[in-house]
Amino acid sequence: MAQHIVSPEVHEHHTQEQESLKTAGFWLFLISDVILFGTLFATYVVLVGHTNGGPTGKELFEIQGFVISTFILLTSSFTSGLAVLQMHAKNLKGLIFWLVVTILLGGAFLFIEIEEFLTLIHEGANIGTSAFLSAFFVLVGTHGIHVTLGIFWCIGLIIQLRKHGITTVTKRKITNFGLYWHFLDVIWIFLLSVVYLMGVM
Amino acid sequence: MWDSIKEFAADFFVTGDPLIYGADVSIALVSIAIVFVLTYFKKWKWLWREWLTTVDHKKIGIMYLIASLLMLFRGGVDAILMRMQLALPDVEFLQADHYNAIFTTHGTIMILFMAMPMMFALFNMVVPLQIGARDVAFPFLNALSFWMFLFGAMLLNISFVIGGSPDAGWLSYPPLSELSGSPGRGQDFYIWGIQISGIGSLATGINFIVTILKMRAPGMKLMKMPLFSWSVLSASITILFAFPILTVTLALLFLDRYFGAHFFTLDGGGMSMLYVNLIWMWGHPEVYIVVLPAFGIFSEIVATFSRKTVFGYNSMVFAMMVISVLSFFTWVHHFYTMGSSADVNAFFAITTMAISIPTGVKIFNWLFTMYRGRIKFDLPMLWTMGFIPCFLVGGATGVMLAVAPANFQYHNSYFLVAHFHQVLIGGVVFGYLAGIYYWWPKLFGFKLDEKRGRWGFWFWNIGFYLCFFPQYFLGLDGMTRRVYTYGWDRGWAALNFASTAGAFLMGVGFIFQVWQIAYSVRKGERDKTGDIWNGRTLEWSIPSPPPVYNFARVPQVQHVDDWWREKEDRENGIVRPQPELEPIHMPKNSGIPFIMSSFWFLIGFGFTFDWIWLVIIGFLGVFGSMYARSFTYDVDYYIPVDEIKKTEQKLRGATT
Amino acid sequence: MSQHSADNHSHDHGHGHHEEEAHGSIKSYTMGFILSLILTVIPMVIVFNDLMGRTGTLAVILITAVAQLFVQMWFFMHIRDEKGPRYNLMALSLGILLVITIIAGSVWIMSFNSYTQ
């Protein structure tokens, strides 16, 4: 084992440096994700008028649905922040509690989104109806996939937290997850603005 | 039963062309030979332990290098086939669709599966050594990047014997690349091959940004960093911002083909030109991604072989950073003829011309570095000298192409073909070859044979000019790219014949290089000092090949060209203090990158053949691998001081 | 392996020189949450009740969205807390500049036939 050759303090020092690199790398990954969503936004903005004689956003979007899901996701961003605060207070139970709340809210958000998609498809507005709807489904859907992956990631982290407790390594993982979750919230705000609010104007 | 197998095979395997059958046989024979050799010499375990699971940047670099040289061979064969078809009018060597497939795979392979991995080979082989680090920031991710690239490349490469090659051009413009224009499997191989390796490229970009920003040896301020590392930083930044655009664009094309979306289709409100707009937002930065490291290589070589610090270090750094940002503002010059407004074309013409300014600055800096230097013409320097005039002409014709109104004449003609080969071969390939010659002794411990290398150099260079200069004139005479045959009445025969002769000369040059490597493995000059060129930067301060931990002691940097200064100090009797050895922290090997990438391969293959069960298996495997990695906490080990001492003694003799 | 930054290196391993990074408090998180709620409600109210003209509404939507971006970066993602050279902030700024280029550029370039479907 590693610790036999060096003292635990030295090993901890190396681990900390290693983990801080990973947060820096994760931040860069998030920026590449910004570009990814930016490209999808560009596609959407260019194609939003190309409805091919089919329904427009104004006809399709249900105000109630996207308003509720917005507040759910905003709240989950806040609760993920509370989880990080608990982590820094070294309170494992509180940390896990707020992470669970966060993924439950994330799940509720996803449920509403999937229901919205199914309703649209049922009404005959699917990905192949028009260029506008292709762009809509892919832009909003990509965000939804990110939320889904985030939930699975968080479940994995909760299991690891129960096994290892709050260590340098799990701390870095939770920090990165928190960044990811806030990032998804920010992306959603722009989705809300550009897709939904401008759509129903 | 027999009939259904036959039917399946007819769809699964590419049939009909004797060339393909020949390829089938040779692929089968080579595979059998490899399996036989590995089994006979009991090397499977060795292969797995030393290579397939390695996270050592040096070994990963070597694997990138081997893969890229193989891809250079494949892309080169494609080129020779095309030139044979075009050598004379009305040749009936290749059919039209076969020709389409060949120019598509030639372009795709040369840019994405030859230039990119050769660049990553140099990143991996050099950067950690040059900045005094023991590995990259994320060794596991580095291995994952390599295997993603390799499996992506394999996916594209098997298409010519299984399922059919893509044939819609190297950037696959819709509507031709849509289901309506390309119903075959080839286009899906193209999408998934690039998609999978593209994720690896993005990860490499992130990896090297963090490595360079956070892992430099103490004292090495950014403005004391060697210029090759600077060029890697600028290329990596460009990768970070460009590759997500490629991912999205190809994903949208896939959605069009697979789920009937209407992004780029002609019906349903889609816009095929939107694809062209998006793909060039990646495609233009991409060419700077591959050329920036070449600039870095030349800077190192010119300084070393002129025995001088590079002229205008600050302006070199500034120029590279400006190029990497400006490269995002020029993409429309690839499709001036689309019919956008005059304002759009004017704007992008100006940005395109602007980018030639920092490039020109660099050329002058190299020339001024050589001025009054005591230049030694070893192979790396020879290729650098070959590069400068070649790239200069390529750059000048680039400025001609940038003039939007004139561009309507050159667009999609052989003038353009000649231009981009001149910058990509003259700039990128010459640069990487120079870099390989330069750092080869560091990684392998022996020098590549000078005599055979010189033959290779002259065949490459004379062949290059003979091949591509006639193409400028063919373009001006009205020959468009991608035509597969032409008549005697066009008057293009003589120039085309000359061009084909040039291509063959380059092929001979490549054969000389292969011979050179094979010869040098046995008889090349061994490097005992670790500093065979009398180098200036940190990588030359350690033994060749370097031990697994690179640096026994973390170097303390004081100057630009620190190793050179240290050698000067030593001559003056000043010896820098040597701190005590400490146990070295190293990452453990892992098989997950290889396994996870092979699951990605299954996903790509499954989507290509509409085998959803395979796609599901692939995704389960990918997520399983990610979870397995996330739950692994035992990821590192320490090399004890005794072992370091022993290794150093063996490598350096008794001095340390 | 061992990492070492050129900018602040120390060889005394025993030291716990990694002080805790600043990471906000319950107060700052609550502030951020309330601010983002307000910034979300404003455009919603204006759009749903048709309170302003087209240009005005668009402006409000975009301004509140961007403001919200800053709120989340500041209060939740702690962008200002980075120590040493602010690489994160630099990378993000360049990223945002390029996103704007991608979107505005695409709209400008593709406007040549956006009304001919």
CA dihedral B612, B616, B618, B624 (to 10 degrees): 180
H helix or E strand, kind and range, residue A177: helix A168-191
Q: What is the mean pLDDT of residues B380-387?
A: 96
Q: In percent, how much of chain B has pLDDT > 90?
A: 84
In a domain, A55, yes or no: no
Nearest to A108 by CA among A60, A75, A63: A75
Cβ <8 Å between B216 and C5: yes
Residues with Cβ within 8 Å of B335's Cβ and at least 6 positions away in sequence, in order, are: B273, B276, B277, B280
Grade residue A29 by pLDDT with cuts at 50, 70 and 90.
Answer: very high
In a domain, B143, yes or no: yes
> Has residue A201 got a pLDDT over 90?
no
> What pLDDT score was predicted for residue C23?
64
3-state secondary structure of B639: strand
Which residue of A9, A14, A32, A133 to mutate against B (max B Cβ within 10 Å)? A32
Tell me the nearest-neighbour CA distance from B588 into chain C, angstroms: 10
CA C81/CA C77 separation, integer angstroms: 9
pLDDT in tens, A6-19: 888 888 998 998 89
Q: Determine phi and psi for B162, rounding to 5 degrees.
A: -125, 125
Nearest to B565 by CA among B217, B301, B224: B224
Question: How does DSSP classify residue A195?
Answer: I
In a domain, B344, yes or no: yes
Q: Is the dihedral of CA B252, B253, B259, B265 positive or negative?
A: positive
Contact B568, B534 (CB under 8 A): no
3-state secondary structure of B511: helix
Range of the domain at B303: 43-579
In a domain, B413, yes or no: yes
Q: How many domains does chain B have?
A: 1
Tell me the nearest-neighbour CA distance from B543 into chain C, angstroms: 19
In a domain, B556, yes or no: yes
> What pLDDT score was predicted for residue B22?
81
Question: How does DSSP classify residue B52?
Answer: I
User: Is B579 an 8 Å CB contact of chain C?
Assistant: yes
Q: Is the dihedral of CA B107, B469, B381, B457 positive or negative?
A: positive
pLDDT in tens, B273-291: 999 999 999 999 999 999 9
| CATH number for the domain that contains residue A68 | 1.20.120.80
Burial of C96 (0-12, 13-18, 19+ CB in 10 A): middle
Q: Determine phi and psi for B385, rounding to 5 degrees.
A: -65, -35
Q: In percent, how much of chain B has pLDDT > 70?
A: 100
Please state, as a whole number, how many other Cβ atoms lie within 10 Å of the Cβ of residue A158.
16
Q: How many domains does chain A have?
A: 1
Which residue of B57, B340, B584 to mutate against C (max C Cβ within 10 Å)? B340
Q: Which of residues 61-80 of C touch A (CB under 8 A)?
A: 61-62, 64-65, 68-69, 72-73, 76-77
CA B102/CA B105 separation, integer angstroms: 5
In a domain, B115, yes or no: yes
CA B114/CA B69 separation, integer angstroms: 7
In a domain, B633, yes or no: no
Grade residue B656 by pLDDT with cuts at 50, 70 and 90.
Answer: very low
Count Cα atoms within 13 angstroms, Cβ side, for A25: 27
> Has residue A99 got a pLDDT over 70?
yes
pLDDT in tens, B486-505: 999 999 999 999 999 999 99
CA B109 vs CA B30, B79, B162, B176, B335: distances in Å? 21, 11, 17, 20, 22
Cβ <8 Å between C69 and A17: no
CA triplet B191, B192, B197: central angle to 5 degrees?
A: 110
Q: Is the dihedral of CA A32, A34, A40, A46 positive or negative?
A: negative
Q: Which residue of A has its CA nearest to B282?
A: A39
> What pLDDT score was predicted for residue C18?
41
Residues with Cβ within 8 Å of B447's Cβ and at least 6 positions away in sequence, in order, are: B440, B441, B520, B524, B525, B526, B527, B532
In a domain, B160, yes or no: yes
Q: Which of A41, A78, A201 sits opposite C47 (nearest CB)?
A: A201
Burial of B20 (0-12, 13-18, 19+ CB in 10 A): middle
Nearest to B228 by CA among B111, B384, B70: B384
pLDDT in tens, A40-68: 999 999 999 999 888 999 999 999 999 99
> What pLDDT score was predicted for residue C10?
37
In a domain, A149, yes or no: yes
CA B537/CA B562 separation, integer angstroms: 6
Range of the domain at A189: 15-49+62-200
3-state secondary structure of B477: coil
Tell me the nearest-neighbour CA distance from C10 into chain A, angstroms: 11
User: Is A70 an 8 Å CB contact of chain C?
Assistant: yes
Q: Which of B214, B241, B270 sits opposite A35 (nearest CB)?
A: B241
Cβ <8 Å between C115 and A198: no
> What pLDDT score was predicted for residue C12?
37
Which residue of C88, C103, C109, C112 to mutate against B (max B Cβ within 10 Å)? C109
> Could you identify the residue written with the tokens 């392996």?
C1
> What pLDDT score was predicted for residue B247?
96
Residue B585: beta bridge partners? B638
User: Is A166 an 8 Å CB contact of chain C?
Assistant: no
Grade residue B111 by pLDDT with cuts at 50, 70 and 90.
Answer: very high
Angle between helix B342-370 and helix B379-402 axes, rounded to 10 deg: 160
Residues with Cβ within 8 Å of C60's Cβ and at least 6 positions away in sequence, in order, are: C42, C43, C46, C52
Count Cα atoms within 13 angstroms, Cβ side, for B467: 27
Please state, as a whole number, how many other Cβ atoms lie within 10 Å of the Cβ of residue B476.
14
Chain C residues with CB inside 8 Å of B252's CB?
none
Q: What is the mean pLDDT of residues B51-58?
A: 95
> Could you identify the residue written with the tokens 């190309």?
A50
CA B168/CA B186 separation, integer angstroms: 9
Q: Which residue of A has its CA nearest to C1?
A: A14
In a domain, A153, yes or no: yes
Cβ <8 Å between C5 and B214: yes
Cβ <8 Å between A134 and B638: no
| CATH number for the domain that contains residue B235 | 1.20.210.10
> Has residue A184 got a pLDDT over 60?
yes
Which residue of A14, A15, A43 to mutate against B (max B Cβ within 10 Å)? A43
pTM: 0.94
pLDDT in tens, B386-427: 999 999 999 999 999 999 999 999 999 999 999 999 999 999
pLDDT in tens, A119-161: 999 998 999 999 999 999 999 999 999 999 999 999 999 999 9
Which residue of B136, B141, B263, B625 to mutate against A (max A Cβ within 10 Å)? B263
> Could you identify the residue written with the tokens 């980018």?
B355
Structural domain boundaries in chain C: 23-81, 83-117
Q: What is the mean pLDDT of residues B469-488?
A: 94
CA B434/CA B374 separation, integer angstroms: 19
Rounded CA Rg of chain B:
25
Q: Which of C11, C105, C110 sits opposite B271 (nearest CB)?
A: C110
pLDDT in tens, B162-215: 888 999 999 999 999 999 999 989 999 999 999 999 999 999 999 999 999 999
User: Is C35 an 8 Å CB contact of chain A?
Assistant: no
Chain A residues with CB inside 8 Å of B267's CB?
52
Chain B residues with CB inside 8 Å of A129's CB?
262, 268
Cβ <8 Å between A34 and C36: no
Contact B171, B215 (CB under 8 A): no
In a domain, B28, yes or no: no
Tell me the nearest-neighbour CA distance from B503 into chain A, angstroms: 39
